[in-house]
Amino acid sequence: MHPNNAHKNGYPMDKLCKRHPALKAFITPAKSGQPSIDFANPTAVKALNTALLAYYYNMTYWDIPAGYLCPPVPGRADYLHGIADLLQADAANKAPRASGSEVKGLDIGVGANAIYPILGSQLFGWQFVGSDIDKKSIENCQTIIQRNPPLSSLFSVRHQPNKACIFSGIIHEDDYFSFTMCNPPFHKSASDANKGSVKKVANLSRHKNKRANNKGRLRLSSKPPLNFEGQSNELWCDGGELAFIQTMIKESVVVKSQVGWFTCLVSKSAHLKAINTSLNYYNAAEIKTLNMGQGQKQSRFVAWRF
């Protein structure tokens, strides 16, 4: 993880339970003997997130509707720390609106969880606009803002009525954003998304059962529950991740004078070549790929500007 990530050394479960007592019911010993949770249990993961957001990020209230994505906080924090590195480099070069209270970010696809604006506003004091095509997500974000005074002056949301557009209708004529960010839909279809959820649950359950069974025999149901839920717009779109990012690149040209850095997570490294080809085609002045690692998982985000 990023060296500035507060979660790089694990979770202080005792302190988290004191801040959010409901977490206690889900504590279980890890292989190391340290307290942990069953990460295949969505209720446990939600309780952990609630505790983390209360303890580290000043949230007195956080909740998401049933069936919406519950993102892991440490990895989301890493993305923001990577963006902070970009802005700090610009600030050192005295670029306008690259540091301090001048920073305003746009989170494309903010979701019902509002995780990036929460973390970014509380870590760095940045302002955020979150956009989404899902009205229920927008309404839940508004509830989170209303019930958390630290967010009231730093975070607002905008509904995107046109599913075919990303920046159009969201970036207004008088807007300037220091950066945009996005965790794009990964899958190409609902069927692919369902298969991905089953695989993820199966992998977590297999790991859990290996710990619980000295002989390593697996006791895994052939139809594990879908603990990693999400609405269709959160999980898939026509063409999947690559098509979404290429649309974003094309639209970024239109608003290039209103954004410092465009950024987007890229789950598949195999997509990087096509993404860089598109960015060069549209004459991006600067392109960066910033790698992030959480445990054995390697991730990255692409950043570009004109």
The DSSP annotation for 257-269 comes to GGEEEEEEE-S-G
30 CB-near residues (< 8 Å, 6+ apart):
36, 211
pTM of the full structure: 0.84
User: Bridge partners of 38?
Assistant: none
Whether the Cβ atoms of residue 263 and residue 85 lie closer than 8 Å to each other: no
Residue 262's CB is within 10 A of a number of other CB atoms, namely 27
Tokens matching residue 182: 């996005």
What is the mean predicted confidence (pLDDT) over 129-141?
Answer: 97
Closest of 182, 153, 152 to residue 170, by C-alpha: 182
pLDDT top residue among 131 and 233: 131
pLDDT of residue 206: 53
Residue found by looking up tokens 């958390």 in the block: 148
CATH architecture of the domain with range 74-187+235-305? 3-Layer(aba) Sandwich (3.40)
Question: SS3 helix, strand, coil % of the chain, rounded to 5?
Answer: 45, 15, 40
The yes-or-no verdict on residue 169 having pLDDT over 50 is: yes
Which residues fall within 8 angstroms of residue 168, CB to CB, at 6 or more apart?
Answer: 162, 251, 254
For every residue of 121-132, DSSP letters joined together read HHHH--EEEEEE
What's the rounded Cα separation, in Å, for the pair 2 and 229?
A: 27
**65 or 215, greater pLDDT:** 65
CB 161 within 8 A of CB 132: no
Spatial distance between the Cα atoms of 268 and 275, rounded to a whole number of angstroms: 11
pLDDT (average), residues 149-172:
96
Please tell me the least confidently modeled range out of 81-90, 128-137, 211-220.
211-220
pLDDT of residue 115: 98
The model's pLDDT over 254-290, given as tens digits with 9 standing for 90+, comes to: 999 999 999 999 999 999 999 999 999 999 999 999 9
Q: What is residue 8's DSSP assignment?
A: T
Between 294 and 144, the more confident residue is: 144
Q: Residue 226 above 70 pLDDT?
A: no
Answer whether 225's CB lies under 8 Å from 201's CB: yes
In the chain, what are the domain boundaries?
74-187+235-305
Reading the block at residue 53, the tokens are 């957001």
DSSP secondary structure letter of residue 92? H
From the list 148, 239, 149, the residue with the least C-alpha distance to 189 is 239
Above pLDDT 70, what percent of the chain?
79
Q: Predicted confidence band at 222 (pLDDT cuts at 50, 70, 90)?
A: very low
For residues 207-221, one letter each, b for 16 or more C-beta atoms within 10 angstroms of the residue's C-beta and e for the rest, the string is ebeeeeeeeeeeeee
DSSP letter for each residue of 184-209: ---BSSHHHHHHHHHHHHHHHHHHHH
How high is the pLDDT of residue 261? 97
* Residue of higher predicted confidence among 55 and 93: 55
